[in-house]
A and B are shown apart, each in its own frame.
Chain A
Amino acid sequence: MKVEITVNGASTSADVEPRLLLAHYLRDVLGLKATNVGCDTTSCGACTVLLDGESVKSCTLLTAQADGGEVITLEGLSPDGAELHPMAAAFRAEHGLQCGFCTPGMVMAAVGLLSENPKPTEREVREGLEGNLCRCTGYHNIVRAVIAASGQDPDEVQGAAIHRVTDAGGVEAAAGFSSGDSAGGGE
């Protein structure tokens, strides 16, 4: 079937199998190799790209589902390669990458995160990146990078208590005690 997708601002089109995953359209049809595939259970997020402005896992999308849409990959963030996108620059400055395999997806997920939450707390960064796994960094510097990219000072925002004791006796933690999320309210 024929698909037409705008990728990093450029029109692309190809005749593809319906089962071609978007990640492979990007990597193998377009030759954009930055986006990586790290798992087969939609767990690791290494394949994260932006589709119509929202972060998605390109391994769990058919190319067909992106037909007519706009995709941005890591390559599209810093198009001329010379100057780094602010998020990429922050990752470099804070040493938020080591082997680099999770990095393209992590950066795209972080860009998506800030587009929805421009000034996140440390907890919000950690939860906002729950769909992206990294084995090298322990996340410490990734958190700093995202906080820095949001225009906040990592030294001030990081390390603030990310666990709060609630009145109901549970602990509202980044990892959750009584809840992965504990939420409640009413008038």
Chain B
Amino acid sequence: MSIMGTRVVRVEDPAFLTRGARYTDDLDLVGALHLTLVRSPLAHARIEAIDVGEARSAPGVVGVFTGADVDLEPALLFGGANEKMVRAFLAKDVVRFVGEPVAAVLTEEAYQGQDAADLVEVDYDPLPVVIDLKAAATDEVLLFPEAGTNTSNGFDHEKDLDPNLFDGCEVVVTRELVNQRLAASPLETRAAAAEWGEDGRVTLWCSTQNAQDTRSEVAGWLGIDAEQVRVIAPDVGGGFGAKIGADPEFALVAWLAKQVGLPVRWSETRSENMTGMVQGRAQLQTVAIGGDRDGTVRAYRIDVLQDAGAYPRLGAVLPMFTRMMAPAVYDIERVESRARVLVTNTTSVAAYRGAGRPEATAAIERAMDLFAAEIGMDPAEVRRRNLLRPDQFPLTTKGGAPYDSGEYEKALDKVLDAVGYADLRAEQAARRERGDAVQIGIGVSVFVEITGGGAFKESAAVEVHPDGAVTVLTGTSPHGQGHATAWAMLASEHLDIPVEKITVKHGDTDLIPRGSGTMGSRSLQTGGVAVYQAAGELVEVAKQRAADLLEANVDDLVVEQGAVVVRGTDTAVSLADLAEREKLRVDTRFDSGAPTFPFGAHVAVALVDVESGKAVIDKIVTIDDAGPVLNPLIAEGQRHGGIAQGIAQALLEEVVYDEDGNPVTATFADYGIPSAAELPSFTLLDMATPTHLNPLGVKGIGEAGTIGATPAAQSAVIDALAHLGVRHIDMPLTPLRVWEAIEAARSAGGSRIEGAK
């Protein structure tokens, strides 16, 4: 019986639920020193002097290091960025964001660390600070004078916009939108530990989403061969894109370990994490949408300013994906975009669940709603009239994306039907008529997203052991996605050996030298397929050997319950026995060659107390179609997590800096990450449209929920206020913003709220 598509509970869980998982900070490292970092309290300043004398003689201190001590070349953290915008491993002359590491203190005990760090005295000479993107674009205050500009890079950013783009459009709406900066906030902060061996190699344990990439990055920063570095990713407590690759701190940990000849370990506090770990989104978008009063959209433009933070990282390339996905699910004649990436005195920006694509979807969905409001048409209907049709697939879009498959209108119809759209509109009308204090709003989003993580090749190895157990080696790097279970299912499908006997290993570069990790929703469509392929190839090898052994025809052989059997007879040899005779292992590599395009539709229902401004999402009905579902339990979990983050962006979260560059939301008490009390339960509908790009027909599910939920939630709240004259509110739609929007619309002549006494 096929195991594909069944709700297999996770093999990881018994350990996780008894002794707990083993994260980097849990590792036993005998004799390891503890690293505490001294970080800049200023957003932009010259370092005049650092006095470490008192710190050096504090209890338990083994060493104190500053930028002057670190003999590593400052690194360009993203290849496509302006090459002058490099980051030192400990700031040498200038600090450029609050939280930038300035000194490193090594102590014998963890508790001694902050005591010693507090004794380091740094003399700062403050410099002017630039936080605002438009201000950064003027180049008045430069972060890197030697670069002469705050523009790191861009995508057609110097080209002039087409003044005729909207010719012939009866209606044009233009709006500036904020896709706000977010903090990924995995529950496990960053951690790393390093130990050099007598053989001159360093073992680096770290909380990362890709051990192999981390290895090459760290080796490069240390100026040594990748061969000399072994990276091990223990259990990782969430990543969401922010743990893609290596952080400079990882190289620092390794370098320090070399200096002192002892293992060094580091585990940051949450407050450090909220300024030290890369953040997400942070785009200022100008959108313009034009079309006719019958609902046809003829032209769309998105002009992006991307905040890179102080030191450009992966965020510097994300607008490329925003541009690629700009037209989203719509068939629009003319689409134009450009993007400029700017540095500011803030934390670096990189990937966060969706990484460039939520920004594209949120922008065009908002534009669609604004257009619908302008022409007085139902927003679901406007979308319907402009969707790409199934018979148009596969196609290359106006954004340059090769869409593989999609049934957008079907997804829209299903969610509208499931939520009872017509009834909701009727209830909305009734509440407006009565002037209820609590209004409802309905937000619709239809979306498509690009998955594959830009890394379409992946390795896998499957080996059957003489005792009948199986080991799978994968180049993916799960941190909650359940690959140990899912890849075991894929191997089990071919080998017919139960998942309990299949162990999946990942994240150790000595064991698995090649791999691209887990990001961009790539894992199943590359790594999973590779496992499936490897297991299938192993079965072929086994059959050949069995054919010889059993003197049977290969075509008469099948695999049942872990054995190769002559069909319809008792004649068989177990895979374990075959392995006993000769090692039974297949290594394979799969290349899907191209990204896939999952899609879906969300409808969110908001309840908004128009007296107080408080909004909640009461219900959300979703389709996230990523093709056939291998394990519905795990896939649903991915959707849930994405939807929660999507709603949270719309209503709750924002990283805020004041004008001096001080982070204002740098703890979990201040940053709006939701608890269970802020969210409803979610309604998930099933739809599975396969892709032709891999034998399993699967796409990537990890980020779709986030991409669909954010605009649906934002739209729902604004929709609840539409009758009051509110057209737009930037995210997050906090009670303050909602109330101010209502007040502004009221004084601009919106309708009076009846019933509010």
Residue numbers of A with Cβ under 8 A of B are 17, 19-20, 24, 27-28, 33-36, 38-44, 46, 74-75, 77-78, 81, 84, 88, 91-93, 95, 97-104, 107, 122, 125-127, 129-143, 158-159, 162-163, 165, 169-171, 173-178
User: Which of B13, B616, B682 has the largest number of chain A CB atoms within 10 A?
Assistant: B13
- In the bound assembly, the distance between CA atoms of A43 and B269 in angstroms comes to 13
Q: Write the chain B residue with the least CB distance to A74.
A: B20
- In the bound assembly, the distance between CA atoms of A159 and B643 in angstroms comes to 16
Shortest distance from the beta carbon of A44 to any chain B beta carbon, whole Å: 6
When distances are taken between beta carbons in the complex, the residues of chain B under 8 Å from A162 are 618, 680-681
Interface bits B661-685 vs A (CB < 8 Å: 1, else 0)? 0000001110001011111111100
Q: Are B681 and A143 in contact (CB under 8 A)?
A: yes
A–B Cβ pairs within 8 angstroms, 7 of them: A75-B20, A84-B14, A102-B187, A136-B480, A136-B637, A137-B641, A139-B676
Q: B676 touches which one: A99, A100, A104, A143 (CB < 8 A)?
A: A143
Q: A169 touches which one: B189, B641, B755 (CB < 8 A)?
A: B755
Shortest distance from the beta carbon of A151 to any chain B beta carbon, whole Å: 19
When distances are taken between beta carbons in the complex, the residues of chain B under 8 Å from A173 are 607, 616, 618
Q: A33 touches which one: B22, B187, B667, B676 (CB < 8 A)?
A: B22
Q: Write the chain A residue with the least CB distance to B705.
A: A138
Q: Are B18 and A137 in contact (CB under 8 A)?
A: no
Q: Are B21 and A178 in contact (CB under 8 A)?
A: no
- In the bound assembly, the distance between CA atoms of A143 and B637 in angstroms comes to 13
Interface of B is mostly: loop
B17 within 8 A of A: yes
Q: Are B677 and A175 in contact (CB under 8 A)?
A: yes
Q: Are B238 and A101 in contact (CB under 8 A)?
A: yes
Q: Write the chain A residue with the least CB distance to B16.
A: A100
Q: Write the chain A residue with the least CB distance to B646.
A: A138
Q: Write the chain B residue with the least CB distance to A90.
A: B17
Say whether, besides A75-B18, A92-B10, A136-B480, A125 and B668 are in contact (CB < 8 Å). Answer: no
When distances are taken between beta carbons in the complex, the residues of chain A under 8 Å from B513 are none
Say whether, besides A78-B17, A140-B682, A39 and B188 are in contact (CB < 8 Å). Answer: no
Which residues 233-250 in B have Cβ within 8 Å of A in the complex?
235-238, 240
Q: Are B17 and A92 in contact (CB under 8 A)?
A: yes
Q: Are B479 and A92 in contact (CB under 8 A)?
A: no
Q: Write the chain A residue with the least CB distance to B189.
A: A38
Q: B111 touches which one: A17, A43, A132 (CB < 8 A)?
A: A17
Q: B679 touches which one: A27, A104, A139 (CB < 8 A)?
A: A139
- In the bound assembly, the distance between CA atoms of A173 and B22 in angstroms comes to 38
Q: Are B21 and A135 in contact (CB under 8 A)?
A: no
- In the bound assembly, the distance between CA atoms of A136 and B643 in angstroms comes to 10
When distances are taken between beta carbons in the complex, the residues of chain B under 8 Å from A43 are 667-669
Shortest distance from the beta carbon of A127 to any chain B beta carbon, whole Å: 5
Q: Are A91 and B18 in contact (CB under 8 A)?
A: no
Q: Are A177 and B609 in contact (CB under 8 A)?
A: yes
- Give 9 new A-B contacts, CB below 8 A, not counting A34-B18, A137-B641: A39-B668, A41-B668, A78-B18, A101-B186, A170-B612, A171-B438, A173-B618, A175-B677, A175-B678
When distances are taken between beta carbons in the complex, the residues of chain A under 8 Å from B269 are 40
- In the bound assembly, the distance between CA atoms of A173 and B26 in angstroms comes to 39
B644 within 8 A of A: yes
When distances are taken between beta carbons in the complex, the residues of chain B under 8 Å from A33 are 19-20, 22, 26
Interface bits B435-472 vs A (CB < 8 Å: 1, else 0)? 01110000000000000000000000000000000000
User: Which of A20, A139, A159 has the largest number of chain B CB atoms within 10 A?
Assistant: A139
Shortest distance from the beta carbon of B8 to any chain A beta carbon, whole Å: 10
When distances are taken between beta carbons in the complex, the residues of chain B under 8 Å from A42 are 669
Shortest distance from the beta carbon of B676 to any chain A beta carbon, whole Å: 4
Q: Are A99 and B18 in contact (CB under 8 A)?
A: no
Q: Are B640 and A169 in contact (CB under 8 A)?
A: no
Q: A28 touches which one: B110, B643, B677, B680 (CB < 8 A)?
A: B110
Q: Are A127 and B19 in contact (CB under 8 A)?
A: no
Residue numbers of B with Cβ under 8 A of A are 9-10, 12-14, 16-23, 26, 110-111, 184-189, 235-238, 240, 269-271, 436-438, 479-482, 607, 609, 611-612, 614, 616, 618, 633-634, 636-637, 640-645, 667-669, 673, 675-683, 755
Q: Are A91 and B17 in contact (CB under 8 A)?
A: yes
When distances are taken between beta carbons in the complex, the residues of chain B under 8 Å from A46 are 187
Q: Write the chain A residue with the least CB distance to B651.
A: A175
- In the bound assembly, the distance between CA atoms of A36 and B20 in angstroms comes to 9
Say whether, besides A129-B675, A130-B677, A74 and B616 are in contact (CB < 8 Å). Answer: no
Q: Are B111 and A100 in contact (CB under 8 A)?
A: no
User: Which of A43, A133, A136, A174 has the largest number of chain B CB atoms within 10 A?
Assistant: A136
Say whether, besides A34-B19, A81-B19, A125 and B10 are in contact (CB < 8 Å). Answer: no
Q: Write the chain A residue with the least CB distance to B236.
A: A99
Shortest distance from the beta carbon of A23 to any chain B beta carbon, whole Å: 12
- In the bound assembly, the distance between CA atoms of A95 and B239 in angstroms comes to 19
Say whether, besides A41-B669, A101-B238, A143-B681, A125 and B676 are in contact (CB < 8 Å). Answer: yes
When distances are taken between beta carbons in the complex, the residues of chain A under 8 Å from B614 are 175-178
- In the bound assembly, the distance between CA atoms of A126 and B680 in angstroms comes to 9
Say whether, besides A33-B22, A92-B17, A162-B680, A41 and B270 are in contact (CB < 8 Å). Answer: yes
User: Which of B19, B187, B611 has the largest number of chain A CB atoms within 10 A?
Assistant: B187
When distances are taken between beta carbons in the complex, the residues of chain B under 8 Å from A17 are 111
When distances are taken between beta carbons in the complex, the residues of chain A under 8 Å from B680 are 162, 174
- In the bound assembly, the distance between CA atoms of A28 and B10 in angstroms comes to 29
Q: Are B611 and A169 in contact (CB under 8 A)?
A: yes
When distances are taken between beta carbons in the complex, the residues of chain B under 8 Å from A134 are 187, 676
- In the bound assembly, the distance between CA atoms of A35 and B25 in angstroms comes to 11
Q: Are B271 and A74 in contact (CB under 8 A)?
A: no
Q: Are A101 and B609 in contact (CB under 8 A)?
A: no
When distances are taken between beta carbons in the complex, the residues of chain A under 8 Å from B611 are 169, 178
Shortest distance from the beta carbon of A57 to any chain B beta carbon, whole Å: 12
- In the bound assembly, the distance between CA atoms of A143 and B640 in angstroms comes to 12
Shortest distance from the beta carbon of A95 to any chain B beta carbon, whole Å: 5
Shortest distance from the beta carbon of B234 to any chain A beta carbon, whole Å: 11
Shortest distance from the beta carbon of A100 to any chain B beta carbon, whole Å: 4
Shortest distance from the beta carbon of A158 to any chain B beta carbon, whole Å: 5
Q: Are B634 and A38 in contact (CB under 8 A)?
A: no
When distances are taken between beta carbons in the complex, the residues of chain A under 8 Å from B481 are 98
Closest 8 CB pairs of A and B: A34-B20, A101-B237, A138-B644, A99-B480, A98-B480, A138-B640, A43-B668, A139-B676
Say whether, besides A97-B13, A101-B186, A171-B607, A136 and B238 are in contact (CB < 8 Å). Answer: yes
- In the bound assembly, the distance between CA atoms of A30 and B347 in angstroms comes to 37
When distances are taken between beta carbons in the complex, the residues of chain B under 8 Å from A75 are 18-20
Q: Are A97 and B641 in contact (CB under 8 A)?
A: no
Q: Write the chain A residue with the least CB distance to B668.
A: A43
Q: Write the chain A residue with the least CB distance to B184.
A: A135
- In the bound assembly, the distance between CA atoms of A169 and B436 in angstroms comes to 8
- In the bound assembly, the distance between CA atoms of A171 and B471 in angstroms comes to 54
Q: Write the chain A residue with the least CB distance to B9.
A: A92
Q: Are B668 and A99 in contact (CB under 8 A)?
A: no
- In the bound assembly, the distance between CA atoms of A127 and B683 in angstroms comes to 20
- In the bound assembly, the distance between CA atoms of A72 and B436 in angstroms comes to 49
